Amino acid sequence: MAPTYFNEMYQNGQVRPPYRHLEDWTAAMPAELRSLKQAEAEALFRRIGITFAVYGEGGDPDRLIPFDMFPRVFTASEWARLDRGIKQRARALNAFLVDVYGRGEIVRAGRIPARLVYQNEAYERAVAGIVPPRGVYSHIVGIDLVRTGPDDFFVLEDNCRTPSGVSYMLENREIMMRMFPALFRESRIQPVDRYPEILRRTLASVAPAKCDSDPTVVILTPGHFNSAYYEHSFLADLMGVDLVEGQDLFVEGEFVWMRTTEGPKKVDVIYRRIDDAFIDPLCFRPDSMLGVPGLMDVYRSGGVSICSAPGAGVADDKAVYTFVPEMIRFYLGETPILQNVPTWQCGKSDELTYVLENLAELVVKEVHGSGGYGMLVGPKSTKEQIAAFAERVKADPGNYIAQPTLALSTVPTFVDEGIAPRHVDLRPYCLVGERVELVPGGLTRVALKDGSLVVNSSQGGGVKDTWVLAE
């Protein structure tokens, strides 16, 4: 029997209230106009330069991410619950990071196994004992959410290092407002355009102890060959800060300096978009050409802030993910507002047995995987693919977790044959500094292939504008 999916626009044959405006909008848009508008959107994306690269593929290195014009809509009350749950989770994740790089009380209390923390490849011993400004390790937390019913939301995974995609959230909105201004006049949609302003304020609020003036903030990028380079330059432009590569920075004395045409300028806060391993060749990978030699010494001495902090990745490991509800109870003394997806850890022999016996019904992921790579969607896989993946799991069980195949909600989507439901997820971006803040919206990713549950752009997914209605 085929699973039933919650359609966010239609329920029991009726249009749900948040989508009522869109029913008239789609009815008034003939196929020819829809095609023209889609072409206009693609032209705008191309002109603005919103592209992404897929590593290991030939063809166009600057590929357009597919954009679907049909927005996803949340009511104010739906969003209020998500807002509370996401902020709660971001606070707990940061408390966990401060703890495990300090006394490790949660491990001592037996609430999480020591091996998952201290033997984790994302755990950076170089930052043990450091408490960053305001006790914040992860300053931009991307929480991936899925919906399975009117009131049922689940956290699929946490992203505590350098979550990408926020430029699409902003540009999706800009393009929709440009193409359909009347639609926005008729609907009371909360804005997302304050994100760059809030991001800059968040970064400035975690300036290091040795900063005695208005902090100088920069974005550190690996360079224009990186798949998210457009986003790095886009955010730097909107925030009014410098976009730098490792070669633009150097360490001298107790500080980090930026080379400028007017001479060296001290840098206080680095929003880094490079991985831990490449930050400082004197501390991590010695062959890194992307980082800044000596940066970690300055960081340790309170001369510069790195956002998000090195080592933050231990909190978004997919095995550690299973303990986030426990973190919320342990550190905050609260009941989790948002639930995890039930998860089996293949590193546990009894759970491994269950997973191997039920691979055809489960989604199996690498603990450190991302972008839809290194995973098996059992119901969508062949017997040969399942058998091959089983061997990979048996060879390294601790590297995998498994989850049930969720009945992801669908949102109407423009496809070649007209309008059809397609599965979606959501990534809101929670900013953590002096305050914990969230703009009302996020990045909705949509699986454009009929029946597909994989929404990642690297796997053929697209993006939608995400609306949160005002009360």
Q: Which of 140-154, 308-322, 326-340, 360-374 has the lowest mean pLDDT?
A: 360-374
State the DSSP code for 240: T
69 domain-assigned: yes
Co-location of 42 and 87 in the same domain: yes
65 domain-assigned: yes
- pLDDT tens, residue by residue, 175-192: 999 999 999 988 899 999
C-alpha to C-alpha distance for 258 and 247, rounded to whole angstroms: 9
- Longest Cα separation, the chain: 69
84 domain-assigned: yes
pLDDT band of 56, cuts 50, 70, 90? very low
- pLDDT tens, residue by residue, 143-170: 999 999 999 999 999 999 999 999 999 9
Co-location of 57 and 36 in the same domain: yes
The whole domain housing 180 covers 10-208+304-338+406-468
For residue 343, with 0-12 CB atoms within 10 Å meaning exposed, 13-18 middle and 19 or more buried, which class applies? middle
Q: Give pLDDT, residue 31.
A: 87
Residue that is written with structure tokens 């759970």 in the block: 351
pLDDT band of 57, cuts 50, 70, 90? very low
Q: Whose CA is closest to 154, among 361, 404, 387?
A: 404
Co-location of 316 and 368 in the same domain: no
283 domain-assigned: no
Co-location of 416 and 442 in the same domain: yes
- pLDDT tens, residue by residue, 200-235: 999 999 999 999 999 999 999 999 888 889 999 999
Q: Which of 363, 388, 404 is the last residue of a domain?
A: 404
Co-location of 88 and 107 in the same domain: yes
Q: Give pLDDT, residue 55.
A: 42
Co-location of 308 and 348 in the same domain: no
C-alpha to C-alpha distance for 336 and 419, rounded to whole angstroms: 37
- Output the six-digit token pair for 198: 């809030």
Co-location of 347 and 452 in the same domain: no
Q: What is the number of structural domains in the chain?
A: 2
281 domain-assigned: no
Q: Give pLDDT, residue 364.
A: 93
Mean pLDDT over each residue of the chain, to the nearest integer: 92
Co-location of 398 and 424 in the same domain: no
Q: Give pLDDT, residue 52.
A: 57
**Mean pLDDT confidence for 416-427:** 92
Co-location of 332 and 349 in the same domain: no
Q: Give pLDDT, residue 204.
A: 98
Q: Which of 14-23, 101-110, 345-354, 446-455 has the lowest mean pLDDT?
A: 446-455
Does residue 53 carry a pLDDT above 60? no
pLDDT band of 51, cuts 50, 70, 90? low
Q: Which of 379, 404, 429 is the last residue of a domain?
A: 404
Does residue 20 carry a pLDDT above 70? yes
Co-location of 359 and 454 in the same domain: no
pLDDT band of 58, cuts 50, 70, 90? very low
Q: Give pLDDT, residue 222.
A: 96
Q: Give pLDDT, residue 63.
A: 66
**Mean pLDDT confidence for 458-468:** 88
Co-location of 395 and 412 in the same domain: no
Q: Give pLDDT, residue 62.
A: 60
Co-location of 346 and 200 in the same domain: no
C-alpha to C-alpha distance for 216 and 410, rounded to whole angstroms: 43
Q: Whose CA is closest to 25, among 179, 190, 171, 191?
A: 179
Q: Work out the percent of the chain whose per-residue pLDDT is above 70.
A: 95
Q: Which of 404, 432, 451 is the last residue of a domain?
A: 404
C-alpha to C-alpha distance for 353 and 394, rounded to whole angstroms: 10
- pLDDT tens, residue by residue, 297-321: 999 999 999 999 999 999 998 889 9
- pLDDT tens, residue by residue, 264-299: 999 999 999 999 999 999 999 999 999 999 999 999
CA distances from 206 to 139, 270, 271, 304 (A): 9, 10, 11, 10
Residues with Cβ < 8 Å from 124, sequence gap 6 or more? 276, 310, 311, 314
215 domain-assigned: no
CATH number of the domain where residue 365 is located: 3.30.1490.270
pLDDT band of 418, cuts 50, 70, 90? confident
38 domain-assigned: yes
156 domain-assigned: yes
